Amino acid sequence: MSGICGFIGALDDRQRVISRMANALIHRGPDDGFSFDDGVVSVAYRHLDTDAAPFQRESVWSEDGSTLILFDGRIYDREFLRGELVAAGHQLPAQVSDAQLVLHGFEEWGEGVLHRLRGMWALAIHDLEEGTLFLARDRFGIKPLYYLQAGGCFAYASEIKSLLQCPAYERAVNLEALDHYLTFQHAAPWETFFEGIDCLLPGHYLWYEGGQVGITRYWEPRFRPDPLMEEELAIEDVSQVLEDSVRVHRISSAPLGCLLSSGVDSSYLASYFPGQHTFTVGFDQGERYDETAYAHDLAREVGTIQHSRLLSSQEYWEVLPKVAYYLDQPLGDPRVAPLFCAFKLASKHVKVLFSGAGANEIFGGYTIYTEPASRRRYQQLVPYGVRKGLGRLASKLPEMRGRDFLIKASRTVMDTYTGYGFAFDLDDKRRLLKDPSLATRPQSLTQPIYQRANCSDAETMMQYLDINLWLVGDVLHSADRMASANSLELRLPYLDDEVFKVAAHIPTHLRANSESTKYVLRMVAQQRLPEGVANRRTLGLPVPLAVWLRNERYYGRVKRAFQSAAAQRFFNTDVLMAYLDDHFDGKRDESRRIWTVYSFLLWYQQFFTE
């Protein structure tokens, strides 16, 4: 893991600016650094040492000194790539760095080098003679990259907080992002909450030349299920590719560890770490919110050195401002704070940490993915017109058993599913926002993504949507920021190009069906884990938020935020208080909506309140 930043253009006190930008990223790379300025191009790099060899400044330069690369990430097929380059005539040392490999590959194949890389990356390549800049981000968006264009200056960085040090930028809230955030519970991946600062999307590269920006998509996570694939072959293929992915991801001279929850994703990974460290956090609020006992049992089963920690409510609430700072953007997922604490625990023992993130999206792990299969028989037997009428009638009824089934069965998946993090619909947003004209239909944002999916079954379409929205905006965003805040390199074996190639061809019913989620992955895990573990449903870092918000102390804290000047600027505070009071009184669980808004206000206080 590293931090990269730079700018092109005329700025006063250039060296001070690039130094401030780099210092804002020092948590990403506290071990070493590098900076360069020639009066037109200024760049800086912060390095986290996870290899035996120390960082070498010369590794960022081409042999003739005309090109330099800043690279944040890890390449896992380095030996194969080196062999191809040597065969093409490149002179490369045996201990070549990832940055050097990619730079030589760029010299040989141009943008085509991205198709040959297996790993995670955010990179910048400056051609100092031609005056061009090339930016690129890995296929899934494991590594972040942001940019802005203001005052004749083009700047980029690993995190937004670095770009905020650029004097050409004037800080302002992007109100359109607020509307999208209220829908998804996270920032839409194609934008940021800072007006004028953009995010380079996963699987994209950018050229900057002569003041012009051109962006191209080089990869798309397309599923192509093979309905004729037999279960035995699917299990064999997934088993082989996961074993290979874990093998290449484990290559490191630094101490390794693994996050461990009660789910099959992390339990399977932990089985490859006998004698090494695993880490779990929970809450002192009863078994429903505590996975540490399970983690200790599994650690004994697979032979890992288990580290666990129970968090108190006070610890959780005290760490929230720090979490909001490192996130850069609002994120209405209450699991981010315990994730930060888990990474903090791990940082005392290791520098490279494994996570099971991405398995749910790739292999069909969310429970909601089982719903289409449960409705399919009804949809086949009942004519569309009848289903539509029953759905319309059900929508007028109060909450009752079977109501949601009839409504969803009368509509297409594009109308009913707007992502795993869905929080507020159109009517909710119109009531909540001070300016209701900002509110948009959630489907206006999701349908263009669905139309790119190029598949017919609902389960796969839902997975595709979540890979493009929830995975990028929540899972990977929080994982990268919380790991980097603790100076850890995070590795995600499930989000591997070769793994996805195999997963993309698995028949839909072997991913998610009416009986099971991640079916094939669970069958593979049974080869290394007890059956009860492989089939166990994960708690997923559960947070007793709904309980705390019925406590006078935390109710009062949120109430003060909901009645603040910041809240009054953006929201109708009577609506906010209705959510909070209804939850406190036990009328309904409004914790998700409350937390989505409260997280936004925490972020606003960090970045816009003196």
- Residues annotated as part of the active site: 5
Cβ atoms of 68 and 125 closer than 8 Å: yes
CA atoms of 6 and 191, how far apart (whole Å):
20
Half-sphere exposure of 8 (CA within 13 A, CB side): 21
Residue 433, strand partner residues: 571
Where residue 402 falls (left for φ over 0; alpha for ψ -120 to 50; beta otherwise) is left
Q: Would you state the torsion angle of the CA atoms of residues 225, 227, 233, 238, taken in this order, to the nearest 10 degrees?
A: 20
DSSP class of residue 205?
Answer: E
Q: β-strand 256-259 against 212-217: which pairing, if any?
A: unpaired
Residue 259, strand partner residues: 279
Half-sphere exposure of 45 (CA within 13 A, CB side): 26
Q: Quick check: helix, strand or coil at residue 32?
A: strand
Helix axes 371-381, 458-468, angle to 10 degrees: 140
- CA dihedral sign, ordered 531, 533, 535, 536: positive
In angstroms and rounded to an integer, the radius of gyration of the C-alpha atoms of the chain is 24
End-to-end CA distance of the chain: 31
Q: Which two tokens stand for residue 577?
A: 């208080």
Residue 282, strand partner residues: 310
Chain center to CA of 380: 37
CA atoms of 420 and 587, how far apart (whole Å):
24
- Planar angle of CA 321, 324, 329, nearest 5 degrees: 155
Residue that has been written with the tokens 């086949």 in this structure:
380
